Amino acid sequence: MRLVSIIRKAHSVLGLGCGVLIALTALSGTILALRPQIERNLNPSLWRVPPISDSRSLDEILAVVRAVEGPPPKMLLLPQEDDSPLVVFRAGQKPEDRWEVFVDPHTAKILGQRQFGTTWLDWVKRFHVEILAGKSGRLIVGAGGLISLALSLSGALLCWKSRAISLPKPSKARWTAFDLHRQVGIVGLIPTTILALTGVLLIFRPYLAPAIERITGPMPKDITADSRADQNQTGPTVDQICEKASRAYPDGWITRIYLPEGPKGSFAVRLRLPKDGNPHGNTAILFDRYDGAVLKESSSRSANRIQRVLWYAPYPWHTGDALGGLGRGVVALSGIFPAILLLTGVLWWSRGFKRGRVRNSASADGDA
């Protein structure tokens, strides 16, 4: 059996066997790529505010949130647009006691709140990442990404090796399915390969960290540091912490602020720098909660090229944020390709299978 025939058989088996998983994972990715637009259009009362130049202080906003009964605030998600809300995450001891509080940053008015992780879009995200099956599901999704890469590479090779195929008139539908399968595969080859590769890196990177660190140096894990200053002194306010972070990176944009937890807890500020593809930013500074001193710092500017590729590039290229709105649009469109490839592949295979059964039946009748 020729090598091309082996590759074609493997392509068919992998596609038919794992196509549903890959297609559903990709379609959920399409929805997630459009999530900001979906949220703003389905829940405008939570996700849209009148664009006003003035804003209230973060300490004032926190005071308003704390005045409402509920678990303590843990994190602030700062708006990136003038017409977007500020989101305060509150969390108690139980997993179900986690809430998102939406606040108008210009008036400090609470727009509403909802339990964290309970919307249908959160369900779609969990399906995309772990098919609703926890750690085992993540590994299955990762395996699906590897198979998707194999299908892309084998499909490209088969397309390159293919020759004109002559089919009888009754098989016009089968020829149409084959042609559409090939055209969609060619158009979607680059984006689907990038999405599969970055997805595999994101899932398996924690397991590969020791090996990657030998090539790139220490990876920027979630940095933590305990406050060490005198606990009897009056600590800095959230706004003062933000001023310190802004002075450290004048061209950066603060995206998140994590509040101290416990006596030794510290402030953590995350910033997005101009060249960061990640909308959340790749720079973090930890401040002592009692005297505001910098405890630890991790910046994307100190990373070398290999570190940027393996640490920082996978997420924004997987979501499309590396190319802004255009990138998210390409990701959303590319998520549809695997479903089309699955349907056309099944149609091609099923009609060929039926024709084979007819030929085998006719041969049996002739032998009789």
DSSP string, 228-269: -S-TTSPPPPHHHHHHHHHHH-TT-EEEEEEPP-STT-EEEE
Residue 229 within a domain: no
Do 30 and 129 belong together in one domain?
yes
Cα distance between residue 104 and residue 60, in whole Å: 12
* 3-state secondary structure at position 145: helix
Give the CA angle between residues 286, 126, 208 to the nearest 5°: 60
- Residues 285, 290, 292, 298, Cα dihedral to 10°: -20
Residues 182 and 300 in one domain: no
Number of domains in the chain: 3
- For residue 284 the two structure tokens come to 């973090």
- Does a structural domain hold residue 365? no
Confidence at residue 109, expressed as pLDDT on a 0 to 100 scale: 95
- Section 54-78 average pLDDT: 94
Three-class HEC string of 150-204:
HHHHHHHHHHHHCCCCCCCHHHHHHHHHHHHHHHHHHHCHHHHHHHHHHHHHHHH
Q: Same domain for 75 and 206? A: no
% the chain with pLDDT above 90:
67
Mark whether 251 and 311 lie in a shared domain: yes
Q: Residue 189's pLDDT is what?
A: 95
Higher pLDDT, 151 or 350: 151
Burial of 317 (C-beta count, 10 Å sphere; 0-12/13-18/19+): buried
Instruction: Kindly state whether residues 127 and 22 are assigned to the same domain.
Output: yes
Residues 353 and 204 in one domain: yes
Note whether residue 134 is domain-resident: yes
CA distances from 61 to 54, 106, 154 (A): 14, 10, 55
Amino acid present at 64: V
pLDDT value at residue 366: 44
Q: Which residues contact 352 (CB under 8 A, 6 or more apart)?
A: 174
Say whether both 52 and 100 belong to one domain.
yes
* 16 and 140 housed in the same domain: yes
Structural domain for 353, as ranges: 3-36+123-163+175-212+334-357
CB 198 within 8 A of CB 191: no
CA distance 262 to 189: 50
- The answer to the question of residue 42 being in a domain is no
Amino acid, single-letter form, for residue 109: K
Structural contact between residues 20 and 342, judged by C-beta atoms closer than 8 angstroms: yes
Mean pLDDT of 36-49: 94
Average pLDDT estimate for 178-197: 93
Rounded distance between C-alpha atoms, residue 84 and residue 39, angstroms: 11
Q: Above 60 in pLDDT, residue 179?
A: yes
| Same-domain pairing of 279 and 135 | no
Residues 6+ apart with CB under 8 A from 37: none
Nearest to 80 by CA among 259, 253, 251: 253
pLDDT bin (cut points 50, 70, 90) of residue 105 is very high
Residue 217 covered by a domain: no
Q: What is the pLDDT of residue 175?
A: 78
pLDDT digits 0-9 by tens, 189-213: 999 999 999 999 999 988 887 887 7
The verdict on residue 342 lying in a domain is yes
Q: How many CA atoms lie within 13 A of 250 on its CB side?
A: 0
Neighbour-count burial of 314, counting CB atoms closer than 10 A to its CB (0-12 exposed, 13-18 middle, 19+ buried): buried
Q: Is the same domain home to 18 and 128?
A: yes
Classified as helix, coil or strand, 78 is coil
Q: What is the pLDDT of residues 289-335, one digit of tens each?
A: 999 999 999 888 888 888 888 888 999 999 999 999 999 999 999 99
Q: Is the pLDDT of residue 365 over 50?
A: no
- Indicate whether 350 and 203 sit together in one domain: yes
Whether 233 is covered by a domain: the verdict is: no
In this structure, are 13 and 83 located in the same domain? no
Closest listed residue to residue 277, CA positions, set 330, 223, 314:
314
Residue 230 placed within a domain: no
How crowded is residue 233: how many other Cβ atoms within 10 Å of its Cβ? 9
Residue showing tokens 């091309």: 4
Q: What is the mean pLDDT of the chain?
A: 88
pLDDT in tens, 215-231: 777 666 566 788 887 88
**CA angle, residues 275, 276, 281, in degrees to nearest 5:** 145
Residue 244: pLDDT band with limits 50, 70, 90: very high
